[in-house]
Structure 1
Amino acid sequence: MNISLFKALGIIDCCVFKRLDADHYETLYAEHEWIDLLLPQARQEKSFTSPCDSPFLDDFLMQAEEFWEYADYGKIESGIWNEKINDQELKLNAYATMDNGDFYLIIDNVLDLFKQRQKTLQSARELLLSNDKIVAQQEYIHQRLDELLNQSTTLKNIQQPITEVIEKTEVGVAILSPNLQPISQNPALYSVFDTQLAQAETEPYQLILQLFEKQYPEFERVISTGSRWSGELFWLQPPGNGKWLKLAIYPVKTDFQQITHWVFIVNDISQVKHLLQNNEKLTHYDALTDIPNRQYFWMQLEQSVNNAMPFYLLYLDIKNFKRINEIHGHSRGDQIIQELVERIAPHISASDMLARIGGGEFAIIRQKTVTEQQCIDLGHILIETATQPFYLPNGTHCEIGLNIGAASFPRDADDAETLMKFADLAVFNAKKATKSSVQFYSQKLKDASQRIIELENALQNAITNHEFELFLQPMLDLTTGTILKAEALLRWNRLDTEKIGPDEFIPIAEQTGLIVPIGKWVISKACEMISTLNHRGQNCKLSVNLSPRQISDRHLLDFIRTSIKNNHIQPDQLELELTEGVLVDNYDKVQFLLTEVRKLGVSVSIDDFGTGYSSLSYLKKLPIDHIKIDRSFIQDLVNDENDKAIILAIIAMAHSLKLNVIAEGVETELQRNFLQLNHCNLAQGYLFSRPLPFAQFCDYLTTTANQTLIGQSALGPK
């Protein structure tokens, strides 16, 4: 490994180790004496083994092993953590990377750099811009605690590991029960609030909850919906001193999205705020974008309410901004924020105010008298502006979206806090939709939000209550009329006899993460159905859909293997369907998953092909067997020459890549004849059969097989 790579990574005061095998590392570069405090054997024996005496480093090495096993390139980092050994303080950051097939661990001592940056006023701006590093540290602690807490619903068996994680960190941590009662609070949390809490007989977690509820309208929504949240709190200490706190709230949930714990992580950022107060511009303006910050926004919002003139409040939220930071890094995320503001600012009139009120959140106060439709029109302009690709320095590009919630003063609320709460509810509801949208607060929206919450709660128990059912829709060979396979389609029949359509409950399941356990039930049930078909002598492959959230489930591959094995079926009797959007958004994870399932013998189909992504290049890179032409191209192909041309192009391209083509949504003989004439391989749709319950599907298989044997057509309407 060349030393120039260290410089390229921006690492100077570092030590470098090469991974020899699991838990065993060779020392390549360790010229600095501070490493003796952390890893005494590293310089003496020119190697070290894990675990070591640092729980932070041990946890990161576990992450690194997973990264080295599955990733092909890149690097991951731990985020800064503190070590205090023999009264000597270290501030460290670890990296796991790879070069020419070898794996490397780099430990960087950032203490000197940290001290140097605090010497000047400019450090205030730098520290503000490095807020993402604080967020990364909070996220790191959250991930470690999340893994531990998910091992058990109680802390009985994991109290010691929990203690090791939170006791040694200088970041304040509180672990609370689902009803917000204290389970564990570390010494650093008490030190944040000095000794005054003891005098007031108030616990740190109580004060945090009080400050959060008083200072943020989002409090009720965050707690009731079990959402993640981060922001700044101000604590006024008698007789007049104050502290600024960076708070991150993380709910720990089961696969069924039931909250088992709350994790509160607190950083004291008073020093940064104190330095910023010496510069009025930095006090009221966001250092990254140079537009008003949350503090200035609230001043202006209160002033607008006091003026008693009608106005609109728009709340803008960048879709999946956390994921953008994870994939491209926080510095790239900052660049996207800056460019986004440059794009949308020209569309904001001089009488309005655009402010950055959170990491990926903005607000607009429309002071000028405008109509609701004009606000909607502005929202659509901003959404269209934001959806244009953002090009990164390395030549790649990424796409983002905006969700916008809006509320009207004084129609919806006559005070700033309630108005903000309603705008927050509107954007929260907008985020439930797949596409970017503008939503205004209304009683109907409030009722819809209650409906969503009701369905979320009901979904948590739907599997255990046996409320789900798989319907099967056959796919026929257009040449022979033989049923070769069927698509498994999920149906939800609530115990109160209400039938919930998949268009309503699937987005909720995807948004909440419930799609992961539900998706596992679908895979398990499909394998069980295949086994039953085998025993009946009816050989038919079943195809199940995978959602984007399922692709990110690292246990999915093992679950597929286990389901196939437990049901004693052949892997080639199961097929996985992914939308082409998943290929683009999760390419690295998809590539690994599809490669492994193909090794098993499971086939792969790409659903909804041609509906919005330029993913043609992925077809030759990924192990794919079939592509499905989206029904939107089939519906009017007889009358629309463009649809005909698209279908012919897809068929020709797929066959040149040795892929089979499936047409979905076939409803007429004319559609079937066109597809058959142009060598489409398979088709599904109401012309052949609607989705059927399993028993009816078995009967349909038998009937169709008998008709084929006696030479009759099986392709007429059912």
Structure 2
Amino acid sequence: MIRILSYSTQLADHLKVRDALKGIEKACGVGINTEFKIDSVFSLEIIDEFMRKAAIEGSPIHLILYNEKVTDEILALLPDNSPIICLKGFEQSQKSSRPQQELIFFHTLEDTKGFQQLVSKCLQLQSLRYELSYSQSIDYNNRLSQSSFIEILGDHLNRAFVLKHGVGLILFKFVSYGREPKHLKSMTYLLQEYYQFLDEYLPSGWKLYTFGTSDLGLIIDDVSCRDDFDAMLRHVHQETNKFFSNYGIVMSIDMGVALSEDKIVDPIELYNQACAALSVANRKGHGFIEYYGKEQERSLLFSTKVESDLKQVLIDRKLNVVYQPLVDLNTLQPRGVEALVRWNHPTLGQISPVEFLPIAERINGMNELADIVFHQAFDHLRSWKMQGLNLYMSVNIAGQQLVSGKLINHLMETTQLYNISPTDIDLEVTEDFDLNYIDPIVYQLEELKNLGFKITIDDFGIGYSSLHYLSQFPVDKIKIDQSFIRNLNDKKIKILQAMCNLAQFMKIETLVEGIETKEQLEMLKVIGTQYGQGYLFSPPLKADNLELFLNQFKPHQF
């Protein structure tokens, strides 16, 4: 069914539209048996609600016929993703508030044939945009933004709806173990090879897209046969494992799957469902394929509320920062603190950063979140310096902040505001960005290092690119992931020793997180780790409690 929305305050106008659309099925020429439904709306204020309701019912609006004189102010109230034919005049300023100018048309009802042809053109427009979106599917050097990917997903959904097909969305997460083989040119090169391999391997109708900083998605246009879809998905999973195995890399691939099944037409909702499924797959371990279902639905309802509330929290700046001491393992004296963001939700209680930080990244809120952390952390550091406490401050930097290109100015402005020296700031860089961005990232890190900031690679050893980053980045310190000291055995101790030896050879400091027992502490001291943090010394503390901890700290108790 193709649904057309007719707006006017006058019943006579709606009747004229219906008369003019007679025979439109022949004029449209979409080549399929199509039912046309014309909805008449008499109030501008309910158009937005009408559009949402239509989407929920699984029958999106394909075209709006606007029977009033249209201005920029009115266009701002109308949806951006549906073509609009203005029937009684169109006044538009040079600075239009509507971003999609190609979807606005003007025509009168007097020329019935011309009007029908224009309607046909509009209905074909979504299919045209859908085809054009294919040209962006595999562009290794120019990834789509997340919003562009979701827009393209919407194009696929619109076309599938007209053809009465279900759409499948698959999101990937890769985790590699071990070192990069010496013969490998680079992980960037390998991923490009993989994208090309997968694109050639996939059947028609399975379209591969790279987007965000490190995301990979598959959009499947027709999931009418669920058994065939399931079988092909398992093949993709197996062939992906074989591909990386051929290069000597042990790669774990998790997949989150969401299906439209002729019901869901909102691309954001379908994308969020696939994200929820992927999150459940991640929690189960490694190498899982997870379909969106009841468990994921609960997760999605939670994340939807968290996302909505987080947007307001970022505006109101109602996040708090706590501090965990960083201890010199030789002297057992605190030398610094790590700033950790916390969110105490009024109804949900404490929400883990593991849950809300990915959402902040998804809504492009990492710069705003970092601004809250920087201001609180640097203000406290200034206060502690005035009290004679000689500490450095460690703050986490996400890939999104580096890719945005705003980090250097942001840090310099904030340190100057609080009269803090960059030499007192340690930047913990996570590995959550695409190696395609490595050149501009390396440039920014080198600039930051030249300004006096220290650079630490966070969660060292668990990502497939750790050694690559170590060779490329201007690194001062590596922070070894806590997984290496949990359930200690001889193999883990040898790995820890090897990482410490490598760091020492490269004149790089080492810090191990997650220290909880004296046995772990003694082992780390023996192998030569310089710094550590963990609940053995202290949990993350509020600023006032940290001051009390520092004043009462006694090294001999460890």
Q: TM-score, normalised by structure 1?
A: 0.50
| Equivalent pair of 1:405/1:424 in contact (CA under 8 Å) | no
Q: Which of 469, 474, 480 is the equivalent residue of 1:623? A: 474
Residue 324 of structure 2 aligns to a residue in which SS?
strand
Name the aligned partner's letter for residue 339 of structure 1. Answer: F
Measure the CA separation in 2 of the matches of 1:692 and 1:337. 45
Q: Distance in 1 between matches of 2:109 and 2:288?
A: 45
Q: Distance in 1 between matches of 2:402 and 2:281?
A: 17
Alpha-carbon distance, 1:563 to partner:
0.8
1:476 to 327, 332, 352: 327
Cα offset for 1:464?
4.3
Once the two structures are superposed, the pairs formed by residues 271-420 of structure 1 within 5 Å of their partners are 314-317=168-171, 338-344=196-202, 355-356=205-206, 361-363=218-220, 365=223, 367=225, 377=234, 380-381=237-238, 384=241, 403-407=255-259, 416-418=262-264
What is the Cα deviation at residue 559 of structure 1? 1.0
Within a 5 Å distance, the mapping from 1:152-163 to structure 2 comes to none
- Contact 1:175 1:185 (C-alpha < 8 Å) held by counterparts: no
Change over 3 Å in CA distance of 1:424–1:583 after alignment to 2? closer
Matched, 1:233 2:126: yes
Instruction: Name 2:503's counterpart in structure 1.
Output: 654
Shift of 1:551: 1.0
- Are 1:620 and 1:657, in contact at CA under 8 Å, matched by a contact in 2? no
Where in structure 2 are the equivalents of 1:93-104 lying within 5 Å? none
The answer for the alignment partner of 1:427 in structure 2 is: 274
8 Å CA contact retained: 2:394, 2:425: yes
1:276 paired residue number: none
Please list the CA deviations of residues 120-151 of structure 1 after superposition, one character each: whole Å capped at 9, or x if unmatched.
Answer: xxxxxxxxxxxxxxxxxxxxxxxxxxxxxxxx
Whole-Å Cα distance in 1 between the matches of residues 76 and 258 of structure 2? 34
Q: Does the 8 A contact of 1:340 with 1:386 survive in 2?
A: no
2:197 aligned partner, one-letter code: E
Deviations 1:229-266 (A, max 9, x none): xxx6159xxxxxxx998589xxxxxxxxxxxx99x999
Aligned residue for 2:423? Answer: 572
RCO comparison, higher one (Cα < 8 Å, 6+): 2
Give, in angstroms, the shift of residue 382 of structure 1: 5.7
Question: C-alpha separation between the residues in 1 aligned to 2:504 and 2:163?
Answer: 61
Deviation, 1:613, is 1.8
Q: Does 1:508 align with 2:365?
A: no
How much identity, in percent, do the aligned residues show?
23
Query: What's the CA shift string for 1:625-682, capped at 9, x where partnerless?
Result: 1111110001122xx1110111000110101111111111111111111111121101
Q: CA deviation at 1:547?
A: 0.8
1:588 pairs with 2:439: yes
Do the aligned partners of residues 672 and 301 (structure 1) sit closer, same or farther apart at CA in structure 2, a change above 3 Å counting? same
Q: Are 2:332 and 1:485 equivalent residues in the alignment?
A: no
The equivalent of 1:601 in structure 2 is 452
1:446 aligns with 2:308: no
When residues 180 and 611 of structure 1 are mapped into structure 2, their CA distance, relative to the original with a 3 A threshold, is same
Residues 324, 539 of structure 2: 8 Å contact kept: yes
Q: Which runs of 5+ in 2 are unaligned?
A: 1-71, 81-91, 135-146, 175-185, 210-216
Aligned to 1:189: 102
How far the C-alpha of 1:521 sits from its partner, in A, is 1.4
* Contact 2:126–2:158 (Cα < 8 Å) also in 1: no
CA shift for structure 1 position 460: 1.3
Q: One-letter code of the match for 1:405?
A: V
TM-aligned CA distance change 1:656 to 1:314, over 3 Å: same
Question: What whole-Å deviation, never above 9, does each CA across 1:494-546 have from its counterpart, x for those lacking one?
Answer: 23462111111011111221122101211222111110111221121110001
Paired residue for 1:696? 545
Structure 2 CA distance for partners of 1:434 and 1:525, relative to 1, 3 Å:
farther
What is the deviation of 1:599? 1.6
Is contact 1:654–1:660 with CA below 8 Å preserved after alignment? Answer: yes
Indicate how the Cα distance of structure 1 residues 527 and 199 shifts in structure 2: closer, same or farther if over 3 A, else same.
farther
Unaligned runs of 5+ in 1: 1-172, 216-231, 236-242, 249-260, 267-292, 306-312, 321-327, 346-353, 391-396
Task: Pick the aligned partner of 1:177 from 27, 52, 76.
Answer: 76
Instruction: Find the aligned partners of 1:370 and 1:188 in 2 and give their Cα distance.
Output: 40
In structure 2, the CA distance between the partners of 1:434 and 1:496, relative to structure 1 (3 Å rule), is same
Seen in structure 2, the aligned counterparts of structure 1 residues 179 and 520 have a Cα distance that, compared at 3 Å, is: farther
Q: Which residue of 2 aligns with 1:641?
A: 490
C-alpha distance 405-696 of structure 1, shift in aligned 2 (>3 A)? same
Secondary structure at the aligned position of 2:169 is classed as strand
Secondary structure, aligned partner of 1:507: helix
Name the CA shift for 1:357/1:528 in 2 (closer, same or farther; >3 Å). Answer: same
1:9-158 correspondence to structure 2 within 5 Å: none
After superposing the two structures, state which structure 1 stretch, 495-504 or 441-450, moved more: 441-450
Q: Distance in 1 between matches of 2:534 and 2:343?
A: 21
Q: Deviations over 1:291-313 (max 9, x none)?
A: xx9999889975xx9xxxxxxx7
Residues 21-52 of structure 1, C-alpha deviation per residue, up to 9 Å, x if partnerless?
xxxxxxxxxxxxxxxxxxxxxxxxxxxxxxxx
Distance change >3 Å, CA 518–CA 565, structure 1 → 2:
same
Quote how far apart the aligned CAs of 1:462 are: 1.3
